[in-house]
Structure 1
């Protein structure tokens, strides 16, 4: 009887985790279908659509929609997603305009400064570095260009396309590919200093995977439920730690999402399977965890660290603010949409869903300040320039909101 009970319970656990993972696959597809139906008028929106304010709200005004590619906007490809988005440096934006071109756009002059042939799209956002930019393409190439002229300085072919944000430390560029290979490249020549193979590549790769982080003489990154510490000079393994939840050891979603939070003395990682860990850097040895949440938050989409608070957003629409020291929940907020991106601007939190919903909250307590639905998918974080926030959509549009 006891054995039968345990077998039945184990079966329920496997089914529960199977449906959780199935939901993470199906939900983004449903978001795209619903977006198309909304645009066609087959479904009526219940959410406010223009400048809806709440008590104690802020002046957050939509002042312009910059149609960077009018032809693309005219076609209205509602479910089109631009995962490269736009990367900002001062008034310059670099990104994928459409399927044919990558370009540099100037917000001040509202003009395109140069064009570069697209190569199957940008796999993640471009990276600015002084007078150059690094462009990661889906064909597996990483291209360094001069910002002023758009001239290609160098290009390299990697074992697959880059899966997370590019990181720079001193004269080296670090990037992780979908084959779970971490590359250290010379910023001047593109030459490979070293490459670390983390093992068998994932069957499925998550969007918004957390990038590596360089701290002093070490480089930290995590993939497939393993947390790695490497020597930054030669790429040798210092240690690795298994961070899988026992019941989810075979999960396809054992990668960290959002960003790795660096508090000065510890690192915080949020995994798509619901695991959140804080790791102490004081001794820099494995098993040196400060606190853990093992499966307490289901289906985590993203994370963001700012001033002692670690924020996580989930598929179910929850936004949590965690104390980085203890892991305790300061406050939490439920939305009627999936929380896919988190961005901090001063004393305000901006969250958005891939479906185009954006919401502005107070950092202090999560109080609602403003929300609106944009037309098109929004799959990259906003950026701030002067007194405005900009959101980019898959239709090639930039929504500009002014904060007063």
Structure 2
């Protein structure tokens, strides 16, 4: 009888203690939270597994789970694609371009659209669970930006490619979806219902993806300020201001935290390392008048991050910020790198995708988009991105001429999407409208 009673107590303990066997890391997947994937040795691209065509440019980044790859397109649709075959599983139509990447939690996919809504969609069926209306999503804009003409025209920033990607905060009693908005707010909504829990207002649009570390959310905005908030309440813990100057204002990059230090890039143009608790500056790296839009990735105490005008993937010492080396691409490197084994993967604005051996630093593979191969000779200057060359002596003080040059560059299939690796296959999007899936070569 005593034995039966003990077994009964054990039974109730197991039933009513749901967290006893819970995983240390909840099942939350985010495009930017962890860019280091499993892998061995040097694994460049082997062959094209498949490619999936959308009807618009792809600026968002893919994410894969349970055999399905998810990505949004400028055509206004969010796609779920079979990881093995490249066939469409379902698509969800919004009324605006989708430049936000996705997060997944409990079979729900979260993403935002330029139609002014953030969505929660069933990951298996594509059916909407809820949507949250912001005060409007738009490209960052200024009147007469950087002194361009006409001076009274409201001009969209031509390099503001992304909307904020939602992230999921969990504690024993709370599940919140947290994301930034063009209306200047950082929002936290209930993960199941989409109801507002808190919002934090800044002075400009927030298009970066918030980083959640323990109970703190870190992010920067177009006001040039980097913030640390309490995840549960939205109250400010500290803030850090970058420089504000013409052409070099704003934070688009998402942050990374490692060993008590938070790292992020800005347009001002520096990569910053701050104490994660206090926000005090530890060091900053001068990016030589190059914006840093990509998320820094850290492996073996080395930071890997892309730059704009120097066309570089930088390798910096995480403790000191000292440059170890740089690898030069052919154009702006806005794609956030992915690392697997000894290989770092990233794309550039000319449509090249690079697989670089981190051990040799000289062994690399270049995989161009089909459009790059087709248009490179007529658009690029000695295979390099050159704004003045593409402008063909037109007046670049006129905003419309800058738009025209960017449209020329888009013919190349620029890669501003950040790669994602699943089951030894790498996925990335391109402005040519394709989601690419390449098998990775097995390490020797």
Q: What is the Cα deviation at residue 296 of structure 1? A: 4.4
Task: Give 1:333's aligned residue.
Answer: 327
Alignment partner of 1:158 is 2:196: no
Q: What is the Cα deviation at residue 239 of structure 1? A: 2.5
Structure 1 segment 20-59 matched on structure 2, within 5 A: none
Maintained 8 Å contact 2:211/2:219: yes
Maintained 8 Å contact 2:330/2:348: no
Structure 1 segment 4-403 matched on structure 2, within 5 A: 60-68=45-53, 81-96=57-72, 99=75, 101-108=77-84, 110-161=86-137, 163-170=163-170, 171-199=175-203, 201=204, 210-223=208-221, 224-244=223-243, 249-281=244-276, 284-286=277-279, 288-294=280-286, 296=288, 298-307=290-299, 308-315=301-308, 316-341=310-335, 342-375=337-370, 376-393=413-430, 394-403=432-441
Q: Deviations over 1:290-335 (max 9, x none)?
A: 1123554523342322222222222221221111111111111222
Q: What is the Cα deviation at residue 174 of structure 1? A: 0.7
Q: What is the Cα deviation at residue 254 of structure 1? A: 2.7
Q: What is the Cα deviation at residue 348 of structure 1? A: 0.5
Q: What is the Cα deviation at residue 164 of structure 1? A: 2.0
Secondary structure of the residue aligned to 1:326 is coil
Q: What is the Cα deviation at residue 143 of structure 1? A: 1.3
Secondary structure of the residue aligned to 2:295 is strand
- Partners in 2 of 1:364 and 1:257 — Cα distance? 30
- Partners in 2 of 1:293 and 1:97 — Cα distance? 33
Maintained 8 Å contact 1:388/1:403: no
Secondary structure of the residue aligned to 2:136 is coil
Q: Deviations over 1:144-176 (max 9, x none)?
A: 111122221111101223822221111011101
Distance change >3 Å, CA 58–CA 97, structure 1 → 2: closer
When normalised by structure 1's length, the TM-score is 0.74
Q: What is the Cα deviation at residue 365 of structure 1? A: 5.0
Maintained 8 Å contact 2:346/2:354: yes
- Partners in 1 of 2:74 and 2:211 — Cα distance? 31
Maintained 8 Å contact 2:346/2:419: no
Q: What is the Cα deviation at residue 132 of structure 1? A: 0.9
Secondary structure of the residue aligned to 1:120 is coil
Range that drifts further, 178-187 or 333-342: 333-342
- Partners in 2 of 1:403 and 1:324 — Cα distance? 29
Q: What is the Cα deviation at residue 257 of structure 1? A: 3.9
- Partners in 2 of 1:241 and 1:97 — Cα distance? 33
Distance change >3 Å, CA 369–CA 160, structure 1 → 2: same
Secondary structure of the residue aligned to 1:370 is strand
Aligned length: 327
Q: Deviations over 1:349-385 (max 9, x none)?
A: 1121133111111223532321121123323112212
Range that drifts further, 56-65 or 162-171: 56-65
User: Which consecutive residues of structure 2, in runs of 5 or more, have no partner in the other structure?
Assistant: 1-40, 138-161, 371-412
- Partners in 2 of 1:258 and 1:185 — Cα distance? 23
Maintained 8 Å contact 1:362/1:368: yes
Q: What is the Cα deviation at residue 120 of structure 1? A: 1.5
Range that drifts further, 91-100 or 216-225: 91-100
Q: What is the Cα deviation at residue 100 of structure 1? A: 6.0
Task: Give 2:381's aligned residue.
Answer: none
Maintained 8 Å contact 2:180/2:208: no
- Partners in 1 of 2:191 and 2:231 — Cα distance? 15
When normalised by structure 2's length, the TM-score is 0.67
Maintained 8 Å contact 1:97/1:396: no
Maintained 8 Å contact 1:261/1:310: no
- Partners in 1 of 2:423 and 2:215 — Cα distance? 35
- Partners in 2 of 1:386 and 1:359 — Cα distance? 19
